[in-house]
Amino acid sequence: MTGPLVAILSGAGISTESGIPDYRGPSGLWRRDPEAEKQVTYEYYMADPEIRRRSWQARREIWSLHAEPNAAHRAIADLDRSGVPVRVITQNVDGLHQQAGMPERKVLELHGTARSVVCTACGARTPLQDAFSRIEAGEPDPPCRDCGGILKTATVMFGEELDPAVLGQAAAIARACQVLVAVGTSLQVYPAAGLVALAADGGARLVIVNAEPTPYDDIADEVIREPIGTSLPLLLARL
């Protein structure tokens, strides 16, 4: 069985039911603690060892939740396995789409991944767990073992550019898809939000699944406000 190309643009809201906090929602992390935004802002992170220490601790707290894919992640992977061509473009860095069974090659991570760590000086990559082990052993802000540079998760922080190759692939998918489902995203962060306009301009059917209104609701063919874990599986079953 094959069908139209379905693009899924996912944001933090798809992972909240897995226990990962969102940032911009009504009870989002940055609304409760505006200082926390500095931990993911490149300029502040690079300049202040205390912000880096807090950032590492926040990562450890999130990782200690042992988040698992929820029904929404699994429904997307199930749709792919059914033979419908699916591509996931995600703003998330948690890797839950892949964990749910989506092949790596079909998932574009616009904002990078929190599952590995990169040196800002020499570019060396190591697993996230290696950094956690060093923190637990008494290094609150572990430097690169190769060159002594500052380490950060391999995520795109505020103040950093998105990978142009990844963004180019995402734009190509948005233009080519027949259906785009934007799920759990405020559609306020660019250039990710601009992918919705690209898809709509190309004639794609646009469905928005999000608790809060978005700037693109007016051009959507369908807007769903129900909880994502129950509404998305039902929507994808209809597709």
- Residue 222 CB neighbours (<10 A): 12
Catalytic residue among 66, 73, 97, 111: 111
Query: Residue 84 in contact with residue 3, Cβ under 8 Å?
Result: yes
Contacts of 24 (CB under 8 A, 6+ apart): 12, 30, 31, 186, 188
Token representation of residue 130: 């290696």
Contacts of 72 (CB under 8 A, 6+ apart): 14, 17, 183, 184, 228, 229, 232, 233
Does the annotation mark 111 as catalytic?
yes
Query: Residue 179 in contact with residue 88, Cβ under 8 Å?
Result: no
- Nearest CA among 15, 8, 28 for reference residue 70: 15
Active site residues: 111
